[in-house]
Amino acid sequence: MRKPPGALFLYMLLGLVAFVGAADTRGQSRGDGSLTLEYQYIRTGTFDDGNYEYDYWKTDAQVLMLSGDYSITDRLTVFASLPYIWKRFIAGNQFNGDPHNPNDPYWVDFVPPDKRFWDDGKYHSDFQDFSIGFSYLALDGPLKISPYIGYGVPMTDYPFFAKAAIGQNLWNVPVGASFSYAPYFSDWYLSGNAAYVFSEKPLGVNVDYWLTHLATGYRFTPRFAANVFLSLKYVREGMKLPYDFVDDPENFVYPDDFGTEEWWHHDRLGAHRNLNLGLGVDYFLSPQWKVSATGYTALWVEQTNEVDYAFTMAVTRFFSGSD
């Protein structure tokens, strides 16, 4: 029986950071804000097309991300994030590792306009996508609900045809809502968010997706809390490998049958779908400082790569408008 591997396309980890994690039960006041410096490590492996698994390669990604938020009023908050990513390709067991090389001779009918080769086994790095947005505290109390809208745009023209690519190089607009529920006289809490993400459409293909996060946690002390979370990404349409990229998916020849413009864009066109499971902890060193850590893997995947394991570490500094 085929095991259900998990995956998380790298750039989805970098959006909506102001709403991911343990519930924040503090009140919101004008001038309040926070800054977070976070380190992420992500190891990916097997690709699953929904029917078969392919052990072509592995990748290592390291991310250093700065994010923050600021309360413009008691209800309106602006948030932003900017990640810098190092990523490398590691050869797998099939097809000699299957590197993506835009200089290979099979490109005949279409010649890639970007000849940068990043799958050489070395780390390649750049700034990825800058994200900014606004949230509105529509409901305040034990149950908090905050609709939000954001905008993400590539900071640089990084290559997207590579296993070591740091992202898809597409703009996106998430529209959704976050919530938290912390009952009075209880140490349990529930938090999450759900967004529909409008994406740039490469070659006219609709790759909009749903992005959700749900966490439940317990405050063991006023300073220490732990939570278990699920995150889901689901591209509504998109294209599927190898079925939508070759005329005869049962008898294709790799890589000769893939030298097309669609293949050059395939990481942007894919119907990436995955469900992930993780554990997080938060510890307040003081009312102004918090340290956090998470570890996660994945439960299910289609049309993307398995996350073998991943972890994050972060430190947050809170500011008060009354200071």
**What pLDDT digit, counting tens, does each position of 260-282 carry?**
999 999 999 999 999 999 999 99
Q: What amino acid occupies position 6?
A: G
Q: Is residue 111 exposed (0-12), middle (13-18) or buried (19+ Cβ within 10 Å)? A: exposed
For the ranges 61-65, 67-71, 215-219, 303-307, which has the lowest average pLDDT? Answer: 303-307
> Can you tell me the mean pLDDT for 3-25?
40
How far apart CA 115 and CA 121 sit, in angstroms, is: 17
Give pLDDT, residue 97.
60
pLDDT tens for 226-254 read: 999 999 999 999 999 999 998 888 888 88
pLDDT of the residue at 53: 84
Q: How confident is the model at residue 51 (pLDDT cuts 50, 70, 90)?
A: confident
- Per-residue pLDDT, averaged over 187-212, amounts to 97
On the question of pLDDT at 49 being above 90, the answer is: no
Q: Are 308 and 43 in contact (CB under 8 A)?
A: yes
pLDDT at 166 over 50: yes
Going by pLDDT thresholds of 50, 70 and 90, the confidence category of residue 255 is: confident
DSSP label at residue 239? B
Task: Please give, one letter per residue, the 3-state secondary structure of 2-27.
Answer: CCCCCECCHHHHHCCHHHCCCCCCCC
CA dihedral 12, 150, 189, 209 (to 10 degrees): -40
Residue 101 DSSP label: -
60-98 pLDDT tens trace: 999 999 999 999 999 999 999 999 999 999 976 555 567
Tokens, residue 157: 């023209």
